[in-house]
Amino acid sequence: MPRNQQILLDNRPEGEAQASNFKLVETDTPALADGQVLVRHHFMSLDPYMRGRMNESKSYAQPQPLGQVMQGGTVGEIVESRNPRFAVGEKVVGFGGWQQYSVVDANLPGVLRKVDTSQVPLSHYLGAVGMPGVTAWYGLVKLIAPKAGETLVVSAASGAVGSAFGALGKARGCRVVGIAGGPDKCAYVRDELGFDDCIDYKVHSDVKSLSAALKTACPQGIDGYFENVGGMVLDAVLLRTNAFARIALCGMIAGYDGAPLPLANPSLLLINRIRLEGFIVSEHMEVWPEALAELGGLVASGKLRPRESIAQGLAAAPEAFLGLLKGRNFGKQLVQLA
């Protein structure tokens, strides 16, 4: 059996996450039992939600256990199989964690899904045609439920979720405005992703300034907002919401390190009769087939051109993850393992 490099959560962050919270170890992969397969990971996914699980306190998921392999999504290929449903060489998406190989009891429903790489590159099954894409789909279709002509805004617009949200919103005839950090990301959001406009939050130092920029970019006000970051961005968006706006609350990365960030003026939720809903896409598995079908079509047709930041080798994962939390990635953050 091959040797397997793994990254464990060694200790929990106090305040900002650090590379020293992680530990790289090497073990033997165990021999397969009946029904199991060995997956060699080609790519692993780095996602903001992982930061929340590094804390001790229970969030919506159990905390990531100390001393165990960091959990996360992976794509790879079957390199050994004792399960008749999976053949060596088949490509699969799963939840293999921060390691080069995983042993999977492939009879458990949903743990491995075979994917077709003829039209969609393997790595995109961790992004636009995977969990982040379905996250955008659920928030847009099930919570915001826009009408054609409405104005939608998404924060972290150049990321895996934001870029999918933009393509899905444009497909429904909406005006879609992104918020992203820096001129390069904003140019990509406008020019390659086809958003109607993109605001660089880094040139706005306060809520008033950002809110004025939103007013210019959204002359008809904001009907739907997909929230990935929280903090000042949410405060500014709320000031521009129309009556009966809908907010899909997916992430609040701005508050993941340290003290919670307050919401400055919650009475706007009442004044504008807003419906806001927090969600986790893994609790809505019933939408995945429909969502993945639409997302795969958008990628295959070139209407959604997801960008990826790819770190090389497992040892690069902690720094890439910390960079993601600071917005240093550009598009979906992956680590290539094979």
**Which residues here bind a copy of itself, judged by CB under 8 A?**
59-60, 230, 234, 243, 249-252, 255, 260-267, 269-280, 283
Parallel, antiparallel or unpaired: strands 74-81 and 91-94: antiparallel
Q: Report, in Å, the least distance between residue 249 CB and a copy of itself.
A: 5
Comparing CB distances to a copy of itself, the nearer of 272 and 336 is 272
Give the integer Cα–Cα distance in Å for 164 and 130: 10
Comparing CB distances to a copy of itself, the nearer of 160 and 229 is 229
Residue located via tokens 């919506």: 60
Comparing CB distances to a copy of itself, the nearer of 24 and 268 is 268
Comparing CB distances to a copy of itself, the nearer of 148 and 270 is 270
Rounded to 10°, the helix 207-217/232-239 angle is: 50
Q: Report, in Å, the least distance between residue 243 CB and a copy of itself.
A: 7
15-21's contacts with Cβ under 8 Å and 24+ in sequence apart are 15/257, 15/258, 16/257, 16/258, 17/51, 17/54, 17/257, 17/321, 17/322, 17/325, 18/322, 19/318, 19/319, 19/322, 21/54, 21/318
Coil vs helix vs strand at 123 = helix
Give the integer Cα–Cα distance in Å for 133 and 160: 7
Comparing CB distances to a copy of itself, the nearer of 183 and 244 is 244
**What radius of gyration do the chain's Cα atoms show?**
20
Q: Report, in Å, the least distance between residue 98 CB and a copy of itself.
A: 23
**Residue 38 near residue 57, CB atoms below 8 Å:** no
Comparing CB distances to a copy of itself, the nearer of 132 and 251 is 251
Q: Report, in Å, the least distance between residue 5 CB and a copy of itself.
A: 32
Comparing CB distances to a copy of itself, the nearer of 252 and 317 is 252
Give the integer Cα–Cα distance in Å for 334 and 165: 19
Comparing CB distances to a copy of itself, the nearer of 34 and 283 is 283
Coil vs helix vs strand at 34 = coil
Q: Report, in Å, the least distance between residue 232 CB and a copy of itself.
A: 12
Coil vs helix vs strand at 38 = strand
Angle at 226 between CA 180 and CA 276, to 5 degrees: 145
Q: Report, in Å, the least distance between residue 195 CB and a copy of itself.
A: 24
Q: Report, in Å, the least distance between residue 198 CB and a copy of itself.
A: 24
CA of residue 150 relative to chain centroid, distance:
24
Q: Report, in Å, the least distance between residue 96 CB and a copy of itself.
A: 26
